[in-house]
Amino acid sequence: MDIWHIRGGNCLEGTAQIQGSKNACLPILAAAVIAPLRCELLRVPKLSDVDAALKILRCLGCTAGRRDETVYIDSTTLSACAIPHELMAEMRSSVIFMGALLARCGEAWLSLPGGCRLGKRPIDLHLKALRALGAEIEEEGGELHCRAGKLCGAVIELRFPSVGATENAMLAACGAKGETIIRNAAREPEIMALQDFLRALGAELEGAGTAEIRIRGFHPRGCVQFKIPADRIAAATLACAAAGCGGDVSLQGLESQQISTLLHFLNTAGCDIMAQHHALRIRSEGRLQPVGTVVTAPYPGFPTDAQPLLMAAMLRASGRTLIRETIFEQRFRHVPELCRLGANIQVDGDTAEILGVERLSGTAMQATDLRGGAAMILAALAADGESIVFDEGHVRRGYEDIDRTLENLGASIFLEHEGEDNGFNTAVQSSARR
């Protein structure tokens, strides 16, 4: 159990470097098995989800190790095409190994993936896309057995631009004979990162970032070096932290245009934003203006992953903000926890109404999922007094050393791994723990 101790009320000031992107890195780690190759990945964030992907690679017979921010993979030694249930359950992205293994081995044995509990997260679009390429997939009791004597290029029409299904289809299509066209593909920057990596591996494909991706063929290269792009949601998290706490924060190494929808709302809320290509400066008084209605949507719309973060920033705004969540059916599970701080939020179906309050007061909360947990930390930073967030490892699945990053910006935050003696005031902890 991770226990985040936060003493709120400090303004944030200074500069932070943005970590490598979790959601770009995970499908790239899966892509490393589509052909026998050695690759060196730079700027790989230290996250438990990345560790889980490395465990899967080792379990498949690959060599996978890390030195600092660089991960080395040798997939020439791949010797298995089955992933045990306990590794599949560690994260959602384990399912992307399905397309990668089909491309390489023509077979994959796996089970339904884990990941944040955000409501139903079916994989029907993944399966439909792989079947269109010629895979036969049997599902029984959560176990999946996929086989493809030969994958053949096809036109894949996605009902919804699913990020994961687009990634799975791109990887399997690299092992297919003939051209594949993915229509209504996801347009997220992570899809572009996967395209860049696949091109570096020798794949011939284009269109990532648009709704139509074409994969024409694959002539594997043996050795590749690739740098993971910056994490737009980690950048969004720090921007929302600065907005909600007040202060003057510079973020470095990000692609600011990837979070332009968030920056638009923070600007409307009264933050002063100076965005350059690889840097961003945000100045805020702390007490924001309401921003009207925010609706989450696939990229380039407002990202669902930033929804809890913007909500945290708006809790003390001087009025009413509405947030409509259209991507996941249960992505307001953090709301009751934020209300424990004194926030005034009403949820009605897919819409949360936030009525800004003067003050938030420190309390104990339970992290519900990765971004929900991060939102609780952000809200606690803007609250009076001490807060505690109990967390079964959600936040560290997606944020590398977020405690140190925030502390360097002037926040009072401490991460305790349960069982360690830390000398921090644990009075709130013992009285409020549920």
* Segments in 207-259 forming alpha helices (H): 232-245
Binding mask 78-117 for ligand EPZ (x = CB under 6 A): --------------xx----------------------x-
In this chain, which of 163, 259, 382, 413 binds ligand EPZ, going by CB under 6 A?
163
Q: What are phi and psi of 423, to 5 degrees?
A: 75, 0
Contact between 403 and 414 under an 8 Å Cβ cutoff? The reply is yes
333 binds ligand EPZ (CB under 6 A): no
Closer CB to ligand EPZ, 104 or 126, in the complex? 126
In this chain, which of 86, 124, 206, 272 binds ligand EPZ, going by CB under 6 A?
124
Binding piece for ligand EPZ, criterion CB under 6 A, among 35-43, 157-165, 333-341, 426-434: 157-165
Binding piece for ligand EPZ, criterion CB under 6 A, among 133-141, 159-167, 265-273, 385-393: 159-167
Neighbour-count burial of 408, counting CB atoms closer than 10 A to its CB (0-12 exposed, 13-18 middle, 19+ buried): middle
126 binds ligand EPZ (CB under 6 A): yes
SS3 (DSSP) at 1: coil
Closer CB to ligand EPZ, 97 or 328, in the complex? 328
Q: What are phi and psi of 111, to 5 degrees?
A: -130, 175
Binding piece for ligand EPZ, criterion CB under 6 A, among 11-19, 143-151, 161-169, 191-199: 161-169
CA distance 106 to 322: 47
In this chain, which of 53, 54, 125, 310 binds ligand EPZ, going by CB under 6 A?
125
In this chain, which of 123, 133, 294, 402 binds ligand EPZ, going by CB under 6 A?
123
Binding piece for ligand EPZ, criterion CB under 6 A, among 119-127, 217-225, 272-280, 414-422: 119-127
Residue ranges of E strands in 141-238: 143-147, 155-157, 180-183, 203-206, 212-218, 223-227
Residue whose Cβ sits closest to ligand EPZ: 164
In angstroms, give the least distance from the CB of 121 to ligand EPZ. Answer: 5
Nearest in space to 311 (alpha carbons), one of 280, 330, 334: 334
Contact between 17 and 252 under an 8 Å Cβ cutoff? The reply is yes
In this chain, which of 191, 294, 327, 335 binds ligand EPZ, going by CB under 6 A?
327
Contacts of 45 (CB under 8 A, 6+ apart): 19, 20, 21, 22, 25, 69, 228, 231, 400
SS3 (DSSP) at 405: helix
139 binds ligand EPZ (CB under 6 A): no
* Segments in 69-162 forming alpha helices (H): 85-88, 97-105, 124-132
Q: Is 116 a catalytic residue?
A: yes
- Chain residues binding ligand EPZ by CB under 6 A are 23, 26, 92-93, 116, 120-126, 160, 162-165, 186, 190, 304-305, 327-328, 370-371, 398
Catalytic residues: 116
